[in-house]
Chain A
Amino acid sequence: MPLTLLFEQLLNSLQFGMMLFLMSAGLTLVFGVMGLINLAHGVLYMVGAFACAIVASLTGSFWLGLVASLIAAAMAGALVEIGVIRKLYQRDHLDQVLATYALILIFSEATRWLFGSFPLYLDVPQILATPINLFGWFYYSSYRLFIIFVGLVVAVGLYWLIVKTRLGMRIRAGATDREMIAALGVDIRTLYTLVFALGAGLAGLAGALLGALQSVEVGMGDSVLILAFVVIVIGGIGSIKGAFIGAMLVGLVDTMGRFLLPELLALFLTPESAASIGGALSSVAIYILMAVILVVKPKGLVSANA
């Protein structure tokens, strides 16, 4: 029945979007607060996935693995921030791009050295392994539903953290005026490390969650990183709200494009050319979306300091 298929694809878009949100929230926060462009964010995604896979295979518990992914990625983030990133805040974007690109090389090769090139095995936890019955007529993967749930919880949690708490107030103040907040006696260095670790932890969580659906291997963070960049550029760099809207949009356009475009083209093309042109078009759809949005709004949909 096509309606169930359409519904399933819509939920898939939502799940993909939530995962992108987890990934881009940290990226946009780090840019908004510290003015840093961080290519190594994808590496933290990989660290999370590896930590989860290892802990899950040692203890047999996916949930412990999930906790481990958060902790490992946050700790790796904090270490990287203290060791390298801290020296980059005052540098131009070119230096930031290169230094964090160097971090990708270092982390990827070190991981390959430690764990080899073969993917690690990470399975969906037992209670989420079976599809769930929605509305009595529709079955959907309960694990994907769980990812959507986690994304929503994180979105609400981040909103609460940034808008309602004292820490969030300091983060917002730090984004607006670094000198002023330091003069008021806030330890800006620790604050930055904290923000970076928070973003890293979320990326690690995303890596662990997706690792169970895809494979846990070196380089898994690369494609996600670029998608996260697309998301934050669309949403407006520095805005969590923008990242959420951007993630949903990209998730929707990418998933529905892959699903609908070939079918749409099949109406007036031969099946082979519809499949190949549709495939090619849908794989570039999000970039076209980004270009269009930037032409209309060069600073993204949501302006960060508004």
Chain B
Amino acid sequence: MLSINREQKLNLLIIVVILALPSAALWLQEPFYITLMTKVVILALAGVGLNLALGLGGLVSFGHAAFFGIGGYVAGILASHAFNDEWLFSFFGLQVSGSSSMLLIWLLAIIVAAIIAAVIGYFSLRTQGVYFIMITLAFAQMIYYFAIAWPAYGGEDGLSIYVRNQLLSLNTADPMIFFAICFILLMAALALVSMLRNSHFGAALQAARQNEQRLAAIGIRPFGIKLTAFVISAAITALAGALFADLNRFVSPDMLSWHTSGEIMIFVILGGVGRLMGPIVGAALYVLFEYYLGGITEHWGLFLGILLLTVVLFARGGIVGLIAGELKHE
């Protein structure tokens, strides 16, 4: 008989709730709540990306806003060139146009983020512990300040996407369709992470977190494993960034700021580090706080801070850990 444990039951429940809420909103003709749930799904996707590096690999990256923002800027820049009908670049006869195709934008967001993550990871992974936290933070700040100082794409003011980008022949401006796109991508990312977790690669990555010397002793170089995890993690977060830009139809350096890095980290921690569905719970809680408490008081950050402090000090497994119990060591 198929037996499932508490965490798996909870995971199933989470997916059902995420699907049920927008459907109910659609039935009640409250499109705003669909958009709110879309935001949850996108932020969760960003968290799923970070959770791969942080939860499985123990790589405390404080710079994932960089990849989130890169994804956003890829979407914004391609879309603005397509909208204005200008060449993206034209170089000795080689002319490349912008694009409003989501597929192309996603692909490019993933590639660009992966390349930059490979460079950042190559330098950052030479260090450990606090140095790693700070150097990833610093690289993200570098990109943040560059985006502010570079005037071509709006600088500090950001960049608007006037028409939501296109996917095949779907009507992406319809909130429910856009939600469905984001939801499917989130599920795909979860499937990928879950597959990686149970693969040889995942085993090596978790071994690298627990004890690098032992991993090296059995003939696997930890550096390559960690770098690969970092790059995949960045690519997933960048995909979320591209979707987020499309959701808001706007990108700004805010997406790159260190507060964003902190927020992505909050999603992971509130939900529970290393839990498959942790980022979804965390992102949902965050958006709930932002929306409901934000409606009551503009100082909702105070309560978010208190909640976060409480979780870190007293509930170390996050919300999923509270409900589903301690992580099982298999």
Contacts and interface: CB of A to CB of B under 8 A. Distances in A.
A283 B148 contact: yes
B312 A98 contact: yes
A97 interface: yes
Given A95-B312, A103-B309, A284 B146 contact: yes
Interface in B120-136: 123, 126-127, 129-131, 133-135
A288 B120 CA distance: 12
A102 to B, nearest CB: 4
Nearest to B262: A101
* Chain B residues touching A, range: 35 or more
A207 to B, nearest CB: 19
A259 interface: no
Contacts of A287: 138-139, 141-142, 145
Contacts, number: 121
A280 B266 CA distance: 30
B166 to A, nearest CB: 32
Interface stretch (A118-126, A183-191, A229-237): A229-237
Interface in B127-180: 127, 129-131, 133-135, 137-139, 141-142, 145-146, 148-152
The bracket for how many chain A residues form the interface is 35 or more
A237 B130 contact: yes
B138 A290 contact: yes
A232 B309 CA distance: 26
B325 interface: no
A73 interface: no
A104 B139 CA distance: 21
B273 to A, nearest CB: 7
B312 A102 contact: yes
A106 B312 contact: no
Contacts of A93: 60, 129-130, 133
Contact of A104 (B145, B149, B305): B305
A233 B313 contact: no
Interface in A93-120: 93-95, 97-99, 101-106, 108-110, 112-113
A31 B130 contact: yes
Contacts of A288: 142
A37 interface: yes
B196 interface: no
A104 B305 CA distance: 8
B302 A280 contact: no
Contacts of A237: 130-131
Contact of B305 (A105, A113, A233): A105
A237 B130 CA distance: 9
Nearest to B142: A287
Contacts of B62: 97
B131 A298 contact: yes
B308 A101 contact: yes
Interface string A212-231: 00000000001000100110
Contact of A279 (B127, B149, B316): B149
A276 interface: yes
A170 interface: no
A16 B318 CA distance: 41
Interface in A270-288: 276, 279-280, 283-284, 287-288
A233 B126 contact: no
B126 A294 contact: yes
Contact of B304 (A103, A105, A222): A105
**Chain A CB within 10 Å, residue with most, of B135, B152, B304:** B135
Contacts of A95: 312, 316
Contacts of A279: 149
Given A94-B60, A99-B313, A284-B146, A109 B131 contact: no
Contacts of A98: 265-266, 269, 308, 312
Contacts of A145: none
B308 to A, nearest CB: 4
A102 B137 contact: no
A84 interface: yes
A97 B133 contact: yes
Nearest to B145: A283
Contacts of B320: none
A267 interface: no
Contact of A106 (B123, B138, B145, B309): B309
A245 B65 CA distance: 30
B138 A109 contact: no
B145 A229 contact: no
Given A37-B130, A102-B306, A280 B138 contact: no
A164 interface: no
B299 interface: yes
A299 interface: yes
Interface string B289-323: 00000000001111011101100110010000000
Nearest to A226: B141
A175 to B, nearest CB: 14
B303 to A, nearest CB: 8
B313 A87 contact: yes
A99 B138 CA distance: 20
Contacts of B139: 287, 291
A10 B139 CA distance: 26
Contacts of A283: 145-146, 148-149
Contacts of A113: 299, 302
Contacts of A294: 123, 126-127, 131, 135
A108 B144 CA distance: 22
16 contacts: A97-B62, A97-B133, A105-B304, A106-B302, A109-B301, A110-B302, A112-B299, A229-B134, A229-B138, A233-B134, A237-B131, A276-B151, A284-B145, A284-B149, A287-B142, A287-B145
Q: Which 6 A-B pairs have the closest CB atoms?
A: A105-B305, A109-B302, A287-B142, A106-B305, A102-B308, A102-B309
